[in-house]
A and B are shown apart, each in its own frame.
Chain A
Amino acid sequence: DVVMTQSPLSLPVTLGQPASISCKSSQSLVYSDGNTYLNWFQQRPGQSPRRLIYRVSNRDSGVPDRFSGSGSGTDFTLKISRVEAEDVGVYYCMQGTHWPRTFGQGTKLEIK
């Protein structure tokens, strides 16, 4: 199975400051069609998860542009340019290239 390793697992951030979460996969996530199926999800307290980013860097509809995704191969990053109070929650990466699909452990973002 592909292991997805996130860091840090806990991320205290001051409002208005940037934040960055790393996600590393144990195998390349480049699929045979040339696409890289790396997704980012946000789970606010008490809510279902919500996808933010698909295929490394594509924002889902309604996702603020302060969220951005980057990376390639086995190394990926989610960045928040300026953290707002509504960004509190747990962030997960997930690979959709290999079976079984696998998630990272989650990164808990809190306001400092």
Chain B
Amino acid sequence: EVQLVESGGGLVQPGGSLRLSCAASGFTFSSYWMSWVRQAPGKGLEWVANIKPDGSEKYYVDSVKGRFTISRDNAKNSLYLQMNSLRAEDTAVYYCARGNNIADWGQGTLVTVSS
């Protein structure tokens, strides 16, 4: 059974940083593209970033380029999202997801950016 467990969310001030983690199990992590998708309170889904299985290619939505960095550690079956220069509009539940076409989702971790 595929399991994706996010952690690292919380309350952070505008301009601050946070690192999200996702522990993956139940599949061969090193063979899959991985994604981060977010959902602001009461809003729809927004794709944030993807990373290739070997980490050699990364893609981002324009609104986070230069501020967020997606990475992975295949030896630890883990996915990360380093978020810097956070803004109020980054407040959302962040989901870790498997695949380019998002076959599986984690339960999400809430990031709140507020002073």
Residues of A within 8 A of B (CB): 1, 37, 39, 41, 43, 48-51, 54-55, 60, 90, 92, 94, 96, 99-106
Q: How many A-B residue pairs have CB under 8 A?
A: 57
Contact B101 A92 (CB under 8 A): no
Interface residues on B, range: 20 to 34
With A48-B95, A49-B95 in contact, do A103 and B46 touch (Cβ < 8 Å)? yes
| Cα–Cα, bound, A43→B37 (Å) | 14
- Chain A at the B interface: SS class: loop
Query: What are the 7 tightest A-B residue pairs by CB atom distance, in nearest-first order?
Result: A101-B47, A96-B101, A48-B105, A106-B44, A103-B45, A100-B61, A99-B59
B45 contacts which of A1, A60, A106 (Cβ < 8 Å)? A106
| Cα–Cα, bound, A43→B93 (Å) | 14
Contact A101 B108 (CB under 8 A): no
Contact B50 A48 (CB under 8 A): no
Identify 5 residue pairs between A and B in the complex whose beta-carbon atoms are under 8 Å apart, listed by A's number: A54-B101, A96-B101, A96-B102, A99-B59, A106-B45
Chain B residues in 8 Å Cβ range of A43:
45
Contact B44 A105 (CB under 8 A): yes
